[in-house]
Amino acid sequence: MSELKILVKDHGPFLVTGPATVTDAAGNTFDLKGKETFALCRCGASANRPFCDGAHKGCGFQSAERAAT
Ligand code: FES
């Protein structure tokens, strides 16, 4: 069984790898086109939300959280 991994990219999206589905608030599932890796927008500037389209690079989004160790 594969493990789901989410990488928090500095100043960018959540990079999701592994078996996952993305569902909207109404219960409809987004088509991931069989992708094993995809990026979820966390800046709010994407024209293709909930997915990242690279707009974070031009909107000034800044976020570089680090896990407590
Ligand atoms: S995180 Fe990439 S467009 Fe928002």
| Distance between Cα 3 and ligand 1 center (Å) | 24
What does the pLDDT read at residue 69? Answer: 86
What does the pLDDT read at residue 37? Answer: 96
- How far is Cα of residue 29 from the mean position of the Cα atoms in its chain? 15
Q: Which burial class, exposed, middle or buried, applies to 39 when counting CB atoms under 10 A from its CB (0-12, 13-18, 19+)?
A: buried
Nearest-atom number in ligand 1 for the CA of 46 is 3
10-53 residue pLDDT tens: 999 999 999 999 999 999 999 998 899 999 999 999 999 999 99
Inform me whether the pLDDT recorded for 1 exceeds 70.
no
Residues with CB under 6 A from ligand 1: 12-13, 41-43, 45-46, 52-56
| Distance between Cα 27 and ligand 1 center (Å) | 23
What does the pLDDT read at residue 34? Answer: 86
